[in-house]
C-alpha cells in the first residue's frame, strides 16, 4: 500500500494536533504514534508533564515531532505566560496519551497547575483522552466519576483496553493500540461530509450452495466494498457493512453483518434499508442459485450433471422500490460496452448513481488492490482514474455526498 493511500493519509495533512503526555509506563508508545502522525503530515506539538518526563525524554518527542517539546507552564521568553492560550488556539485537536488518573482528576475539577491541563481548559477544540493505569486505579470510584464528568463535557475516551498490565495484574487499564489511536484521531479530524448519516454498504461475493460442500461464487475479495465502508466511516457516517465471506477484517467504525448467500444478503439489507440514508451496493451478488441444495455431497458419476438455477432476488431493485428509499448507489461489473450497460442498469434498477467497473481490464476490478471506475448519474458522469481502492472509495464518497445533498435540495 502506498503511503498516500493509508487510511487517514489525506485527512491528517496539515492538521494541528497537541499531543499531551502524562506519567505512565505507556508513555514510550507516544514516540511511535507521533512518528506516524508526522509521516501523514500532521503538525504536532507535544506537551509533557513532569511525571511523563520520568518515563520518556523530551528530546525523543522533539526529534519525532520536529517541534520543541513544551514542559513548563511559565517559560522564559517573549511568549512567557501565554503559551497555553497560543497552543489552545493553534490546534485542531488535543490528544492526551497516556492519560493518568491524576490528569483526569485535575481536568475534571478544573485544576490547572501545569501546561497540559491549562491548555485543555483554555481550548474549545475536541479533546481525546487515552487512559492507561493500574486496573484498580481505573476502576476506583473517583476515577470513574471523573470520567463521567469529562464525558458529559464532551471529552472522548479512547479505551482503556483490558489485558496484562505492566504491574503484573490483569484487567482494564491498558493503553489502546497505536493503530486504534491513529484511526480514532483520523476519524475525529475527518471532514465529515457524511456526518450524521446512516450508510449501508454491501461487499464481497455470495455463495450459492449446490450441496453441503460445493457452491457457486465469484472472485470478489470485498476490498472495494470494505474501502467504501471505511471511507464512509472516516467521513463521519454511521456505517453498517453487510459482507459476504471474505478474508478481510472489518474496517474500524463499520458494524459488520456477515452473510453467505444472496438470499441472506437480501434479508439483512431489506431489514435495514428503510431507515438508512445511503446504500452503496458493491457486493458481487450471485444472479442465480440452485433452489434447494442437495442434502448430501453429490456423487461423481459417469453421466453429465445438469444444475437447474433459479434467479436470486435483486437486492438493489427491491431497495429502490421501497416507499422510503435510501439514496442508492449500485456497481456495474461489465466485460463489454461498459458505459452503455451501466447506463441500462442505472435505469433498470432505478438507482441514483452507478459505478461502472470494467472487470475485464488489466490490474483492476475483482480481487485487485486498484480499480478504475466511471461514475454515472442522471445528468452527469465522472471518471475516477486508476488508483488504489482506498483512494477511489474516498473520492466516490465525496461524489455521493454531493449528489445526496443535491437530491435533497431538489426534493
Strand spans (E) along 69-149: 93-99, 127-131
Cα atoms in the Cβ-side hemisphere of radius 13 Å centred on 154: 10
Using CB under 6 A, which of the segments 39-47, 65-73, 159-167, 361-369 binds ligand PMT?
361-369
- Nearer residue to ligand PMT within complex by CB, 118 or 220: 220
Burial grade of 395 (CB within 10 A; 0-12, 13-18, 19 or more): middle
For the bound state, the minimum distance from the C-beta of residue 383 to ligand PMT, rounded and expressed in Å, comes to 15
Binding mask 202-241 for ligand PMT (x = CB under 6 A): x-x---------------xxxxxx----------------
Residue 365: all three cell numbers together: 476490478
User: Which of the residues 251 through 270 are near ligand PMT (CB under 6 A)?
Assistant: 262
Please pick, from the candidates 315, 346, 392, 399, the single residue that binds ligand PMT as defined by CB under 6 A.
315
Point out which residues pair with 162 in neighbouring strands.
Answer: 172
For the bound state, the minimum distance from the C-beta of residue 247 to ligand PMT, rounded and expressed in Å, comes to 11
Nearest Cα to 31, choosing from 4, 73, 69? 69
Buried b (16+ CB within 10 A) or exposed e, 45-82: bbbbbebbbebbebebbeebbeeebbbebeeeeeeeee
Count residues near ligand PMT (CB under 6 A).
Answer: 29
The answer to whether 117 contacts ligand PMT (rule: CB under 6 A) is no
What's the angle, vertex CA 139, arms to CA 133 and CA 142, rounded to 5?
95
Please pick, from the candidates 162, 367, 380, 402, the single residue that binds ligand PMT as defined by CB under 6 A.
367
Helix (H) / strand (E) element for 347: namely helix 338-348
Phi, psi (degrees; rounded to nearest 5) at 99: -100, 125
Residue 46: all three cell numbers together: 507535544
- Nearer residue to ligand PMT within complex by CB, 193 or 281: 281
For the bound state, the minimum distance from the C-beta of residue 9 to ligand PMT, rounded and expressed in Å, comes to 20
Using CB under 6 A, which of the segments 24-32, 66-74, 295-303, 310-318 binds ligand PMT?
310-318
Cα atoms in the Cβ-side hemisphere of radius 13 Å centred on 240: 19
> Which residue among 91, 167, 276, 290 is the active-site one?
167
- Cis peptide leading into residue 92 (ω within 30°): no
The answer to whether 34 contacts ligand PMT (rule: CB under 6 A) is no
Binding mask 164-203 for ligand PMT (x = CB under 6 A): --------------------------------------x-
For the bound state, the minimum distance from the C-beta of residue 369 to ligand PMT, rounded and expressed in Å, comes to 9
For the bound state, the minimum distance from the C-beta of residue 137 to ligand PMT, rounded and expressed in Å, comes to 45
DSSP code for 5: G
Nearest Cα to 215, choosing from 273, 278, 155, 260? 260
Please pick, from the candidates 285, 346, 375, 376, the single residue that binds ligand PMT as defined by CB under 6 A.
285
For the bound state, the minimum distance from the C-beta of residue 172 to ligand PMT, rounded and expressed in Å, comes to 37
For the bound state, the minimum distance from the C-beta of residue 342 to ligand PMT, rounded and expressed in Å, comes to 8
359: three-class secondary structure by DSSP: coil
- Nearer residue to ligand PMT within complex by CB, 40 or 334: 334
Q: What is the dihedral of CA 217, 219, 220, 223, to 10 degrees?
A: 150
The answer to whether 365 contacts ligand PMT (rule: CB under 6 A) is yes
Are the CB atoms for 10 and 41 separated by under 8 Å? no
Residues 6+ apart with CB under 8 A from 170: 135, 162, 163, 164
Please pick, from the candidates 35, 171, 366, 381, the single residue that binds ligand PMT as defined by CB under 6 A.
366
Q: In the chain, helix, strand, coil percent, each to 5?
A: 35, 25, 40
Please pick, from the candidates 31, 150, 187, 283, the single residue that binds ligand PMT as defined by CB under 6 A.
283
The answer to whether 333 contacts ligand PMT (rule: CB under 6 A) is yes
Catalytic site residue 120? no
The answer to whether 359 contacts ligand PMT (rule: CB under 6 A) is yes
The answer to whether 95 contacts ligand PMT (rule: CB under 6 A) is no
Residues found near ligand PMT in the complex (CB under 6 A)? 202, 204, 220-225, 262, 281-285, 287, 312, 314-316, 330-333, 345, 357, 359, 365-367
- Catalytic amino acids? 167
Amino acid at each position: 500500500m502506498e503511503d498516500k493511500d493509508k487510511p487517514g493519509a489525506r485527512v491528517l495533512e496539515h492538521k494541528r494536533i497537541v499531543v499531551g503526555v502524562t506519567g505512565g509506563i505507556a508513555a514510550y508508545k507516544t514516540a511511535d504514534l507521533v512518528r506516524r502522525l508526522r509521516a501523514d503530515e500532521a503538525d504536532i506539538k507535544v506537551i509533557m508533564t513532569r511525571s511523563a518526563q520520568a518515563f520518556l525524554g523530551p528530546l525523543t518527542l522533539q526529534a519525532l515531532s520536529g517541534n520543541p517539546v513544551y514542559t513548563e507552564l511559565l517559560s522564559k521568553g517573549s511568549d512567557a505566560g501565554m503559551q497555553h492560550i497560543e497552543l489552545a488556539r493553534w490546534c485542531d485537536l488535543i490528544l492526551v496519551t497516556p492519560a493518568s488518573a491524576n490528569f483526569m482528576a485535575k481536568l475534571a475539577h478544573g485544576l490547572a497547575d501545569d501546561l497540559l491541563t491549562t491548555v485543555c481548559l483554555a481550548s474549545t477544540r475536541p479533546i481525546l483522552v487515552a487512559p492507561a493505569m493500574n486496573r484498580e486505579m481505573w476502576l476506583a470510584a473517583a476515577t470513574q466519576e471523573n470520567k463521567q464528568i469529562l464525558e458529559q463535557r464532551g471529552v472522548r475516551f479512547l479505551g482503556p483496553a483490558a489485558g496484562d498490565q505492566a504491574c503484573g495484574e490483569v484487567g482494564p487499564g491498558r493503553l489502546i493500540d497505536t493503530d486504534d489511536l491513529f484511526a480514532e484521531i483520523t476519524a475525529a479530524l475527518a471532514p465529515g461530509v457524511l456526518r450524521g448519516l446512516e450508510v449501508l454498504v454491501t461487499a464481497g461475493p455470495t455463495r450459492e450452495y449446490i450441496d453441503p460442500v460445493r457452491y457457486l461464487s465469484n472472485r470478489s475479495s470485498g476490498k472495494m466494498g470494505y474501502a467504501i465502508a471505511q471511507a464512509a466511516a472516516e467521513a463521519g457516517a454511521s456505517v453498517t457493512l453487510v459482507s459476504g465471506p471474505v478474508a478481510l477484517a472489518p474496517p474500524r467504525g463499520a458494524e459488520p453483518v456477515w452473510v453467505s448467500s444472496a438470499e441472506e444478503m437480501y434479508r439483512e439489507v431489506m431489514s435495514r434499508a428503510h431507515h438508512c440514508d445511503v446504500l452503496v451496493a458493491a457486493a458481487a451478488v450471485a444472479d442465480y442459485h440452485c433452489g434447494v441444495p442437495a442434502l448430501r455431497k453429490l456423487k461423481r458419476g459417469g453421466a453429465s450433471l445438469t444444475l437447474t438455477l433459479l434467479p436470486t432476488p435483486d437486492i438493489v431493485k427491491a431497495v429502490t422500490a421501497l416507499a422510503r428509499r435510501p439514496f442508492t448507489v449500485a456497481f456495474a461489473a461489465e466485460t463489454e460496452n461498459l458505459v452503455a450497460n451501466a447506463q441500462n442498469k442505472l435505469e433498470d434498477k432505478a438507482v441514483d448513481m452507478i459505478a461502472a467497473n470494467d472487470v475485464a481490464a488489466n490490474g483492476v476490478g475483482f480481487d485487485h488492490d486498484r480499480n478504475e471506475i466511471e461514475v454515472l448519474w442522471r445528468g452527469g458522469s465522472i471518471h475516477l482514474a486508476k488508483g488504489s481502492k482506498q483512494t477511489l472509495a474516498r473520492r466516490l464518497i465525496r461524489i455521493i455526498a454531493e449528489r445526496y445533498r443535491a437530491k435533497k435540495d431538489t426534493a
